[in-house]
């Protein structure tokens, strides 16, 4: 049986292709590293790379990411045979017998084909009513998110859908494969600036939003699917009222970053950032400059900078040459 891995999704800013470089660079610099905190965890693929640590802390503000982490990292008490049987049942559903629902009425013929949207909404209701424990429901819901993302009529986010094309039915429910590890896991969905005041770790890895694009708006369809409050939607992209908005996407990002670094209690701080502050697109320009990052981190301790050429995931039309990913590593 084929399963989704944690990195099998499209996500702006994903570090999947940089994992080996990030891991080796951190390991070379950080000598005491029994505990690792991924403060803006995104896809969770960086956190997965550090599951060899005794303690792993994972945090992100998105509801969808939080469920994904619970399913992949914290699902130890679940009946795999039961999950597989439910999956088979979902795959055998007769589309003609599925009633119209909130999801296809809003997203059908836009972000998904009408039939795919109808099936996704139906399965979302089914998962809530399954005779399963929380771990099993998290696995099923995350499997639905990954399966839906694979069939979405988008370029990798949900700020818009592709137009003037015939949307084909291609949704297929497929299970995820929870990650086997021995780390002690803590999963949070908190403001990073507040969370660091309460916890301590050896390495704090920071990969904040870089520009004005809010992740809660970019991935609003998946956020909607997880919360399942069925809110009223607005505009061409069918977004709900704004929520979960990050200060790192606004003009006060440098001040928020300085506050964050000041309050971190760790042996090492590692910051991922890139050089798109020179981008021609205003929405793609970084909110914090590399000089501001360096200045802030030097106040905390000895800081080294590493960089690597990287063709970043660009879901829009922004062209940017000589793109580099940077790692700032500070020893406290």
Question: Is 252 inside any structural domain?
Answer: yes
Question: Is 277 inside any structural domain?
Answer: yes
Is the pLDDT score of 325 beyond 80?
yes
Number of domains present in the structure of the chain: 1
Question: Is 241 inside any structural domain?
Answer: yes
Q: Could you tell me the CATH number of the domain that includes residue 30?
A: 3.40.50.150
53-96 tens-digit pLDDT: 999 999 999 999 999 999 999 998 999 999 999 999 999 999 99
pLDDT at 312: 56
Question: Is 305 inside any structural domain?
Answer: yes
Mean pLDDT over all residues of the chain?
A: 93
**pLDDT category of residue 278 using cuts at 50, 70 and 90:** low
Residue 66's nearest CA partner among 142, 173, 161 is 142
**pLDDT category of residue 252 using cuts at 50, 70 and 90:** very high
Question: Is 278 inside any structural domain?
Answer: yes
**pLDDT category of residue 324 using cuts at 50, 70 and 90:** confident
Give residue 127's domain range.
16-331
For tokens 């000589």, name the residue: 322
Question: Is 4 inside any structural domain?
Answer: no
Is the pLDDT score of 315 beyond 80?
no
pTM: 0.94
Question: Is 2 inside any structural domain?
Answer: no
**pLDDT category of residue 275 using cuts at 50, 70 and 90:** confident
Question: Is 6 inside any structural domain?
Answer: no
C-alpha distances in angstroms, 155 versus 9, 13, 77, 274? 12, 14, 36, 21
86-103 tens-digit pLDDT: 999 999 999 999 999 999
């Amino acid at each position: 049986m084929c399963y989704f891995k944690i990195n099998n999704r499209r996500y702006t800013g994903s570090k999947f292709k940089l994992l080996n470089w990030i891991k080796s660079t951190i390991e070379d610099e950080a000598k005491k590293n029994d505990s690792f905190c991924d403060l803006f965890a995104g896809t969770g693929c960086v956190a997965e790379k550090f599951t060899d640590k005794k303690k792993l802390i994972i945090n992100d503000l998105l509801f969808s990411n939080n469920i994904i982490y619970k399913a992949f990292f914290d699902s130890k008490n679940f009946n795999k045979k039961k999950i597989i049987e439910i999956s088979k049942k979902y795959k055998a559903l007769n589309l003609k017998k599925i009633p119209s629902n909130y999801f296809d009425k809003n997203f059908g013929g836009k972000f998904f084909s009408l039939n795919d949207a109808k099936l996704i909404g139906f399965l979302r209701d089914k998962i809530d009513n399954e005779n399963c424990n929380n771990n099993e429901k998290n696995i099923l819901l995350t499997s639905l998110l990954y399966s839906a993302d694979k069939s979405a009529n988008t370029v990798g986010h949900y700020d818009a859908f592709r137009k003037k094309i015939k949307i084909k039915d291609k949704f297929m429910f497929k299970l995820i494969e929870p990650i086997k590890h021995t780390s002690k896991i803590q999963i949070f969905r908190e403001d990073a600036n507040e969370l660091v005041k309460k916890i301590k770790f050896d390495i704090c890895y920071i990969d904040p939003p870089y520009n004005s694009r809010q992740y809660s708006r970019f991935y609003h369809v998946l956020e909607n699917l997880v919360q399942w409050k069925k809110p009223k939607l607005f505009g061409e992209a069918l977004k709900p009222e704004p929520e979960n908005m990050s200060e790192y996407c606004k003009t006060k990002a440098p001040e928020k970053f300085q506050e964050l670094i000041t309050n971190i209690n760790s042996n090492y701080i590692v910051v991922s950032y890139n050089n798109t502050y020179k981008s021609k697109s205003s929405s793609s320009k970084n909110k914090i400059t590399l000089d501001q990052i360096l200045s802030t981190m030097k106040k905390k301790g000895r800081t080294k900078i590493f960089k690597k050429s990287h063709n970043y995931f660009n879901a829009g039309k922004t062209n940017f040459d000589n793109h580099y990913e940077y790692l700032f590593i500070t020893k406290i």
